[in-house]
C-alpha cells in the first residue's frame, strides 16, 4: 500500500473512532490538563447550558487527539499562529471533527521576539526549563531593567472539517527578572514578572495565574467560535459551515 493510501486508510479509522466515541471537538494535544481546562471553560458558557450541554456531555464530546489515535503533528511553522493552525488542520482532517490547537512561548522585545516558537528548545532539543532560562538570562545579562520587557504569547486556533478557520492571540505582558523567583508554574514562569505585579508568574497562585495568562486570554477569545461550532452556527472564516448542534 502506498504512503498516500495508508494515510487515507488511517484517516478513515480516525473518522470511525471519532463517530463511535461521540466526539464533537478535538483538542490537538496529549496534555489532559489542557482538555480539562477547555471543558471547564465551556461548562460555564450560558448558551451551551441553555442548549442542554452539561459537564457530563462535555466529557465525551470534547476529547484530546490521543483519544482518537491521531499522530503527533510537527510544528514546522515560523509563528505561533502558523503552528496552531498546522496542528488544528491536521487533526480536523484526520478525524472529521472540528479541532482546536494552540502554540505558545516567550517573546522578548530586545531579542526581536525570541525565543518565540523555539522557547521550549532554546538551549537545545532536549533542554530542561532550567537550562532554557539560564541561557536566556546569560544572553540578557548586560540588558538593564528598562529594556527587559517581554510577554508570554499564545495563539489558539479552531479549524472545522468544512474549512472554517479562526485564530485568537493572548498575551501576558511583563518584565524579565535577572534571576528565577518562585517554585510554581513551569517553563519561563520564574523569570517573568507580570506588569503591575511584584511577584513572578511562578509565585502566583494557580487561580491568579489562570485569570491573567496568555492561554486563558486566547481561549477566552476563541470560546465564542467554539460554542458556535458546537451549536451548529456559522463561524467567520475562509469558508463557512456548521455541524449539528445539540448533544444526544
CATH number of the CATH domain containing 210: 3.90.950.10
Of 89, 35, 28, 87, nearest to 61 by C-alpha is 35
In this prediction, what percent of the chain has a pLDDT beyond 90? 68
The three cell numbers locating residue 89: 488542520
CA distance 103 to 80: 5
d(CA 242, CA 234): 5
Say if 223 falls within a structural domain.
yes
243 in a domain, yes or no?
A: no
Q: Which residues of 58-67 are buried (b: 16+ CB within 10 A; e: fewer)?
A: beebbbbbbb
Annotated binding site for substrate: 29-34, 104, 186-189, 209, 214-215
C-alpha cell at 200: 513572578
Binding residues are 29-34, 103-104, 186-189, 209, 214-215
Q: What's the pTM?
A: 0.84
Best CA proximity match to 27, nearest among 96, 88, 104: 88
Is residue 237 included in any domain, yes or no? no
Q: Does residue 181 lie in a domain region?
A: yes
Please, what is the average pLDDT of the chain?
A: 87
* Binding site listing for Mg(2+): 103
Q: What is the three-class DSSP state of 190? A: helix
Beta bridge partners of 92: none
Q: Count of domains in the chain?
A: 1
Per residue in 115-164, pLDDT (tens digit) is 999 999 999 999 999 999 999 999 999 999 999 999 999 999 999 998 99
Active site residues: 103
Domain that holds residue 59: 3-230
The C-alpha R_g of the chain, in whole angstroms, comes to: 19
Whether a cis peptide bond, with omega within 30° of 0, leads into 115 is: yes
Residues 6+ apart with CB under 8 A from 184: 201, 202, 203, 204, 205, 206, 209
Dist. CA 245–CA 248, nearest whole Å? 10
pLDDT score recorded for residue 30: 83
Give the pLDDT confidence of 186-227 residue by residue, as tens digits.
Answer: 899 999 999 999 999 999 998 899 889 999 999 999 999 999
Amino acid at each position: 500500500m502506498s504512503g498516500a493510501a495508508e494515510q487515507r486508510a488511517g484517516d478513515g479509522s480516525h473518522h470511525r473512532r471519532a463517530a463511535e466515541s461521540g466526539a464533537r471537538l478535538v483538542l490537538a494535544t496529549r496534555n489532559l490538563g489542557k482538555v480539562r481546562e477547555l471543558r471547564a471553560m465551556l461548562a460555564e458558557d450560558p448558551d451551551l447550558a441553555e442548549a442542554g450541554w452539561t459537564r457530563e456531555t462535555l466529557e465525551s464530546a470534547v476529547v484530546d487527539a490521543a483519544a482518537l489515535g491521531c499522530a503527533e503533528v510537527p510544528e514546522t511553522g515560523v509563528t505561533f499562529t502558523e503552528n496552531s493552525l498546522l496542528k488544528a488542520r491536521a487533526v480536523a482532517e484526520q478525524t472529521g471533527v472540528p479541532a482546536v490547537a494552540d502554540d505558545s512561548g516567550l517573546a522578548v522585545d530586545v531579542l526581536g521576539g525570541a525565543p518565540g516558537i523555539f522557547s521550549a528548545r532554546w538551549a537545545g532539543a532536549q533542554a530542561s526549563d532550567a537550562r532554557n532560562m539560564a541561557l536566556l538570562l546569560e544572553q540578557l545579562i548586560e540588558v538593564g531593567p528598562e529594556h527587559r520587557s517581554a510577554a508570554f504569547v499564545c495563539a489558539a486556533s479552531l479549524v472545522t472539517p468544512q474549512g472554517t478557520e479562526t485564530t485568537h492571540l493572548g498575551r501576558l505582558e511583563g518584565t524579565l527578572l535577572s534571576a528565577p523567583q518562585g517554585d510554581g508554574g513551569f517553563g519561563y514562569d520564574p523569570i517573568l514578572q507580570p506588569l503591575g505585579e511584584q511577584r513572578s508568574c511562578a509565585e502566583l497562585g494557580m487561580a491568579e495565574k489562570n485569570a491573567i495568562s496568555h492561554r486563558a486570554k486566547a481561549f477566552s477569545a476563541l470560546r465564542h467560535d467554539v460554542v458556535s461550532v458546537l451549536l451548529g452556527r456559522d463561524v467567520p472564516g475562509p469558508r463557512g459551515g456548521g455541524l449539528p448542534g445539540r448533544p444526544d
